[in-house]
């Protein structure tokens, strides 16, 4: 059953996204930010699938993003492999890693899963830097400076790099449609249904034989695939990739997107991604204080609206009803009772 209001909002949103370049096509900064928003939407939505819907504390998402990015980038830079092959390969590599880690770790209680996956993100830079310049004869990850001059995605001679404002935006939009619809499909499918059942009625789920572990593993692999593939897109779009994405601030920014949009509330992650990306841009002038301010915003937001943006209507409704009970404002329909 599709909620009519939601469908309207969704279509309206998609339409808006589709026509934005009409207004901003000449501004590289804004187009860049908008494209980035689309990219992060895909990352956030896939993260929401595993953390919000499957309720798994899987914190290795950015690690997958970066691994996928490096995979596609190195394939392109060192082996001349086309990004159209590189991106799915990156996705598959990450999905496989997801399986490898998921099989032992998903058995653990939530906190442990969180600790282990969180650590992966922080261990990765060490490995990447180690495999940097000079280590191997024919290959380097670029160390802490990262890989540069990554070839862009191409279709029939048209390159889709950051310099190509409008084409890249629409390519990202196309990926966005595919992945968001895909994730929505997963949520509506048996897998997603299994999670809602597990979330709302665990004993019932067990008694009808819903294999929680199997579904969690699938969700983990799927979300890892998306992260890895989108990581590849990111690498080819920007032309560079570095371990800077594996820092704590990157993690918080990305996770905030998921939380702000509301865990397990479908299009929320997209809203969250747009909000946080734009917020991050607005904070840039603060230089070193940027992350301090960001941290404070994270803390304050979570204390006041832990359900994220989706929690605001309920918060407002709560305050309104509190105000109403003091008699200061009336209820709808009171006027009809005026004598």
Partner 1 sequence: MNLESFANMFVAGITLGAIYLLMAIGLTLVFGITKVLNYAQGSFFTWGGYLTWILTTKYVQWGYPVVIPIVMLVAFCAGILFERVIVRPLRRFSGWETTAIIVTLGCALVLDNLALVLFDPLSKTIPNLMEGAFRFGGLSIAKHNAIMIVITIAVLVLLWLFLEKTRVGMGLRAVSQDITGARIVGLPVDRLYGYSFGICTALAALAAILLIPRTLLYPLVGWTTLLKAFVVIVLGGLGNIKGTLIAAFMLGQAEIFITYYVGGMWALPIFLVLLVATLAISPKGLFGRW
Q: Which residues bind partner 1 (CB under 8 A)?
A: 51, 57, 100-101, 103-105, 107-112, 114-116, 118-120, 122-123, 126-127, 130, 248-249, 251-252, 255-256, 259, 263, 288-289, 291-292, 294-296, 298-299, 302-303, 306-307
- Candidates 274, 309, 252; CA nearest to 39 is 274
Q: Are 21 and 169 in contact (CB under 8 A)?
A: yes
DSSP 152: P
Least distance in Å: CB of 283 to partner 1? 12
- Candidates 213, 214, 227, 142; CA nearest to 183 is 227
Least distance in Å: CB of 201 to partner 1? 16
Cα gap 192→303, rounded to integer Å: 29
Closer by beta carbon to partner 1, 84 or else 291 = 291
Least distance in Å: CB of 120 to partner 1? 7
Closer by beta carbon to partner 1, 174 or else 292 = 292
Closer by beta carbon to partner 1, 67 or else 77 = 67
Closer by beta carbon to partner 1, 79 or else 127 = 127
Closer by beta carbon to partner 1, 107 or else 148 = 107
Query: Which residue is listed with tokens 């392109």?
Result: 76
Least distance in Å: CB of 124 to partner 1? 9
Q: Where are the alpha helices (DSSP H) in the chain?
A: 4-24, 28-48, 61-79, 83-105, 110-130, 165-188, 190-200, 202-207, 212-238, 248-260, 268-283, 289-304, 312-325
Least distance in Å: CB of 295 to partner 1? 4
């Amino acid at each position: 059953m599709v909620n009519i209001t939601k469908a309207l909002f969704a279509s309206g949103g998609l339409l808006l996204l589709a026509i934005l370049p009409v207004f901003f096509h000449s501004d590289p900064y804004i187009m860049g930010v908008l494209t980035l928003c689309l990219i992060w939407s895909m990352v956030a939505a896939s993260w929401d699938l595993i953390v919000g819907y499957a309720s798994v504390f899987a914190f290795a998402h950015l690690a997958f993003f970066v691994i996928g990015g490096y995979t596609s980038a190195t394939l392109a830079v060192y082996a001349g492999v086309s990004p159209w092959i590189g991106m799915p390969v990156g996705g598959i590599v990450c999905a496989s890693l997801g399986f490898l880690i998921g099989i032992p770790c998903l058995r653990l209680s939530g906190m442990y899963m969180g600790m282990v996956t969180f650590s992966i993100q922080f261990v990765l830079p060490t490995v990447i830097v180690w495999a940097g310049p000079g280590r191997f004869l024919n290959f380097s990850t670029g160390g802490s400076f990262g890989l540069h001059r990554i070839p862009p995605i191409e279709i029939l001679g048209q390159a889709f790099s950051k310099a190509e404002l409008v084409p890249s935006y629409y390519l990202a939009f196309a990926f966005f449609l595919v992945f968001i619809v895909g994730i929505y499909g997963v949520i509506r499918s048996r897998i997603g249904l299994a999670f809602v059942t597990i979330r709302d009625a665990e004993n019932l789920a067990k008694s009808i034989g819903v294999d929680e572990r199997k579904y969690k593993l699938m969700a983990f692999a799927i979300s890892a695939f998306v992260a890895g593939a989108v990581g590849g897109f990111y690498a080819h779009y920007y032309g560079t990739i570095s371990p800077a994405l594996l820092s704590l601030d990157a993690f918080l920014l990305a996770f905030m997107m998921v939380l702000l949009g509301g865990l397990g509330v479908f299009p929320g992650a997209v809203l969250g991604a747009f909000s946080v990306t734009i917020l991050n841009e607005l904070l840039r002038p603060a230089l070193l204080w940027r992350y301090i301010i960001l941290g404070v915003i994270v803390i304050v937001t979570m204390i006041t609206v832990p359900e994220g943006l989706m929690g605001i209507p309920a918060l407002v409704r709560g305050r309104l009803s509190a105000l109403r009970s003091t008699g200061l404002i009336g209820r709808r329909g009171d006027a009809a009772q005026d004598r």
